Structure 1
Amino acid sequence: MNKKSLLKAIAKNRAGNGISKKAMTGIIGETLAAVAKWVEKIGRFSFPGFGTFTMKSRAARKGSNPQTDETIMIKASRAVKSKTGPALKKDLSSGKEFI
């Protein structure tokens, strides 16, 4: 799903509520920005029924260039990891439509 299809799904489920597409785009953008900031600052964001996002640190490690088979050093990094919530997992496994 991309941003456009997310907006369509929300508009379909909320038809006639008076919120413009532009306002909806702003709300979604601000929501995702707040979640990203929270995960970066606190290290964890949980949305009950949907899932949990956590910040994980990866240590520097050795890797290899697949084209040359040369050993290279991959520097340390941080990444967001997600875990599906039990309610969403149940809905997905039963074939129930989530949106």
Structure 2
Amino acid sequence: MPTAQACDAGATILVVEDDVLARIAIGEYLRECGFRVIEASGGLEAKTILQHGPQIHILFADARLAGDDNAFALAQWVRRFRPKIAIVLNASLTKKS
């Protein structure tokens, strides 16, 4: 299970969102809250970051990601290979939805 430390400002959050404007807005807001943010446009890019990048404390992913590397597959992968990472799946509706 993720520790309380993961919820502290200063933690590193990996934001996975295929909508570039939403990804920028989410990242900007989280940075203003004091978090370090790394951004990915999809599940494959997120897995690469998780395998080779800096330590991630929280995964924040768009639940509506499409394809084989969708958010649920990514969350299962994280649970299996990076179980200490907290997972937040988010879904929002926009005008284009």
Higher percent of residues as strand: 1
Q: Who wins on radius of gyration, i.e. which is larger? A: 1
Q: One fold, TM greater than 0.5?
A: no
What TM-score do the two structures reach when normalised by structure 1? 0.21
